Amino acid sequence: MVNIALFSSFLEELAVVRLLSVLTIILGVTTSCHQESASKLKIIGGKPSAEHHPWFVQLMSDASSTEGFCGGTLVAPRVVVTAAHCVDAEYVRTLHVGLGMVDGENLHLNKPVKVEGILAHRDYDPETSKNDIAILYLADYQGVEFERPAAPLTFSRDTSSPEAEGRPVMVVGLGNATSVGDIFDGVIREVELPVLATAKCDEKYDNVDGAQICAGNWDNGGIDSCQGDSGGPMVSKDSAGSEVLVGVVSYGEGCAQKGAPGVYTRVASFAGWIDQAVETLKGHNSGQQSAGSMEKLLTTRCVSQFGYLPVENRAGEDNVRDTTYGMNLREFKLIDSDSPGLPVGTELDKCQFEDHGHAVDARWIRMSGSTGTPDSKVAVIATVTSPDGSAAKTWVSRPQRLVYLQDTLSCQSSMGQVILADQRKFTYVVYKDVFYALGEPAADPADNQTTWGCSIGDASIEVYEIGDGVTKELAARIHHRSIGTVSVKLDRIDRESDLSAGIDWESSTSGRLKIENKSTEDLFTWKLVCPVKYTMTLADGTSMSAVQESSGAGFSVLMDAALVREGTVRSGAAVDVGIKLDSPVRLSGSACVINGAIVVESTGQVAIH
C-alpha cells in the first residue's frame, strides 16, 4: 500500500500554535487538530445535531462566504459572544455572521448578517489564551429571512453551579470532526463532555484558571471540540433546567487526545464585561472604546490591512506585548528590541496610535530579498515613544507560521488530486501528495504548455513546470476570490506522512481496508469516501453501509470513535476492516480517500482505482 501523505503531520509543524510555548502544535489551521490553534474540524466523537439550536451562529469572512471559520452564540438579538482569537484581523471590516442555518453543503442558505461592531477583550493574550472572548454587534436584520429560526440564549452569570466539575455540558460546532487530518463536512455536530477540575487540567496546560473551564475525557480522549469550533458555545442547564451559555471554545492541544482536554472561556467570569461591551457597542458608553460604529472601532483599535496592531504598550511596562486579536495576532510575535539592523522592504501598511500616552507607530513591510513562504516575508516594525519623551524603542516582529487546513479546495487533475489549502489565504498546495508553499511570482504558463489542474466553483488551479531541463521547478496559476489570480513558484516542503491506508482485494468485490496511524496523535473519527457503493464489516461482525455524499462525489462512511471501536486508531497502531463493494466495478482515475486527503491504495484484484 502506498502511503498517502496526510497533511497533518506536516501541518503540525507548520501550524503550531502553541499556547504557552510549550504547547504545541496546532494545525493551525493546518493540521488538524493539533493544538489549537489554528484552526478547524468539527466536534469529535459527537453526533450531528438532531435539534436546531437557534442561538448557534457561524462567523463568516464576508457577505458572500458560504462557510464559517468560527462559531459563536447569539445572546441578545443583535449580540454574539465568540472568542477573541476568532476576530481575525483580516476580516474585521467585512465580518458577517450566519444565523438560523441549516447544515449541509452550503451553510448559509441565508444571507449572512453584517457585523457592525467588534469588541475583543482588551486583555486577550494570545500567548496564554486568557480572556479569549469577544462581542460582535450585528446590523439590524429585521426582515431578513432565515432558513431556521434564530433566537438568543441566556448566558450564565453563575460561576459555580452549571459547570461544576463532573457536570455534563454540550459543545456545538462545525469544526473539524477528526483528530488527525481534516473532516469539515458542513454538518453541525454536538458532543456531551464532562467538566474537569481546573486543577487537573492545569496539570496539562499549566496556565488554566477559574476564568476558564476544561472539559473532555481525560483518560481516554475521543470527545472534544476541535479547530473550527472556536468561539462556539458550551451549553449547560441552569438550576431551573434551562439551557445557558457557560463557555466559549478556546483551545486545546490536539483534539480529543487523552490528558489534553479542551479549554473554554468561562462566560460567567465575563458577565460584567459582556454587559459593558454591549453598551459600548451600542454607543451608550463614553468610555475609551466608545465605538458606536465599525469605523470608529477600527480607528480606536488601529487595524491594519494585515492585522490588528500587533503591538500595544502596557502602561508603565517597558515592553510591548503582542496583543493583536485574532489569528494574525499569533502570527506576529515580537522577537527583538533595539534590533541593530531593521529589516528593509516595501511598506505594505501602517498604523499609528496612542496607548497610555505612548505613541506607537507600526509599519508592516514586505522584506526584500527574503526567501521562504509568503507569510515569512512580512515583518512589523513598531516604534514606541514613551510619554516622558525618553528615547523611542523599536520592535520587530515576524510572523510565525500558523496554518489551518480549514479552507481547502481540491479537485482531480489528470495527475491526481490537487489541493489548495490554508485557512484563509490558500498558501499551500498539495500536489501528488507533496506539500508546497506558494513562493515567488512566476511567469504564466505558455499557451502550448502542459498544465495539470482543475477548477472548483469559481476557483481554479493549474500546476505546470518552469525552468530549464536541469532545474525543473513547479509553479501554479491559481485563481481564487481570496487571493485573486496569481502565478507563483511552488516551494516544496518535505515532511513525513502520518497516516497511510490501503485496500487489499481478496476478490473483485471484497477486501480489507487497513489504516495505519504513524502520527503522534490518536486518530478519532475518520471518514472513507469511495466512488462506488460499499459496506464495511467491523470486527464485531456489524456492518455499515456507505451513504452517498451530499456533493454526489461518492459514498462515505464516517467512523465515529464514539459509536464504533474502529473509529479510533491509536498513535502507532493500525486498524483493519472488511470492505465489500455492492457490485464489481472498475474505475480509473478516482480512488477512495480518507479524511479528504489520504488516498487509499489498492492492491490485489483491483476493483477501484
**Residues taking part in catalysis:** 85, 132, 230
Q: DSSP for 334-358?
A: EEEES-SS---EEEEEEEEEEETTE
40 binds ligand ARG (CB under 6 A): yes
Count interface residues toward ligand ARG (CB under 6 A).
17
- HEC sequence for 50-118: CCCCCCEEEEECCCCCCCCCEEEEEEECCEEEECHHHCCHHHCCCCEEECCCCCCCCCCCCCCEEEEEE
- Rounded to a whole number of angstroms, the minimum distance from the CB of residue 354 to ligand ARG is 31
Q: Among 255, 320, 438, 559, indicate the residue that binds ligand ARG (CB under 6 A).
A: 255
Rule CB under 6 A: say whether 262 interacts with ligand ARG: yes
CA distance 36 to 227: 6
User: Which residues partner with 563 through β-bridges?
Assistant: none
Smallest gap from residue 251 Cβ to ligand ARG (A)? 5
Q: Does 252 bind ligand ARG (CB under 6 A)?
A: yes
Compare residues 207 and 500 and give the one whose CB is closer to ligand ARG.
207
* Residue whose CB is less far from ligand ARG, 36 or 163: 36
Long-range Cβ pairs for the range 451-458 (8 Å, 24+): 451/477, 452/413, 452/414, 452/415, 452/418, 453/411, 453/413, 453/418, 453/477, 454/411, 454/412, 454/413, 454/418, 455/411, 455/479, 456/409, 456/410, 456/411, 457/409
- Is residue 233 close enough to count as binding ligand ARG by CB under 6 A? no
Q: Does 91 bind ligand ARG (CB under 6 A)?
A: no
DSSP character string of 135-152: EEEEPP-TT---SS----
**DSSP single-letter state for residue 171:** E
Q: Which 209-228 positions form the footprint of ligand ARG (CB under 6 A)?
A: 224-228
**In the complex, minimum distance from the CB of residue 231 to ligand ARG, in angstroms, rounded to a whole number:** 7
Cβ of residue 123: shortest distance to ligand ARG, in angstroms?
18
Distance CA(289)–CA(115), nearest Å, equals 17
By C-beta, is 112 or 222 nearer to ligand ARG?
222
Residue burial 44-53, b: 16+ Cβ < 10 Å; e: rest: bbbeebeebb
171 versus 268: smaller Cβ distance to ligand ARG: 171
Q: Which is nearer to ligand ARG, 82 or 269 (CB)?
A: 82
Site string for ligand ARG, 486-505 (x = CB under 6 A): --------------------
Closest CB to ligand ARG among residues 245, 528: 245
Looking at the Cβ atoms of 439 and 567, the one nearer to ligand ARG is 567
Please identify the residue of the shown chain whose CB is closest to the bound ligand ARG: 252
Smallest distance from ligand ARG to CB 474, Å: 31
DSSP code string of 476-523:
EEEEETTTEEEEEEEEEE-----EEEEEEESSSSEEEEEEEE-SSS-E
User: Residue 586: which of 478, 505, 497 has the closest Cα?
Assistant: 505
Cα gap 337→347, rounded to integer Å: 20
| Cell triple for 322 | 503582542
Distance of CA 150 to the CA centre of its chain: 24
Q: How far is the C-alpha of 277 from the C-alpha of 283, rounded, in Å?
A: 10
Closest distance of CB 26 from ligand ARG, Å: 7
Question: How much is the CA Rg of the chain, to the nearest whole Å?
Answer: 24
Quote the CA–CA distance of 586 and 592 in Å, as a whole number. Answer: 12
Cβ closest to ligand ARG, residue 197 vs residue 446: 197
The distance between the two most distant Cα atoms of the chain, rounded to a whole number of Å, is 82
Give the separation between CA 415 and CA 417, rounded to whole angstroms: 7
Residue 530 engages ligand ARG in binding (rule: CB under 6 A) = no
- Verify binding: residue 131, ligand ARG, rule CB under 6 A: no
Q: Does 251 bind ligand ARG (CB under 6 A)?
A: yes
Q: Around Cβ 151, how many Cβ atoms within 10 Å?
A: 13
CB of 173 to ligand ARG, least distance (A): 8
316's grid cell? 508603565
Site track 165-184 with ligand ARG (rule: CB under 6 A), x = hit: ----------x---------
Segment interacting with ligand ARG (CB under 6 A) among 8-16, 33-41, 346-354, 459-467: 33-41
Q: Is 39 in the site for ligand ARG (CB under 6 A)?
A: yes
Confirm or reject binding of residue 561 to ligand ARG (CB under 6 A): no
Q: Does 266 bind ligand ARG (CB under 6 A)?
A: no
Q: Considering the complex, state which of residue 146 and residue 332 has its C-beta at the smaller distance from ligand ARG.
A: 332
Member of 229, 407, 491, 516 binding ligand ARG (CB under 6 A) = 229
Task: Tell me the window of 32-40, 192-200, 473-481, 488-496 that interacts with ligand ARG (CB under 6 A).
Answer: 32-40
Stretch that binds ligand ARG, among 250-258, 300-308, 318-326, 475-483 (CB under 6 A): 250-258
Which residues make up the interface to ligand ARG (CB under 6 A)? Answer: 36-37, 39-40, 175, 224-230, 249, 251-252, 255, 262
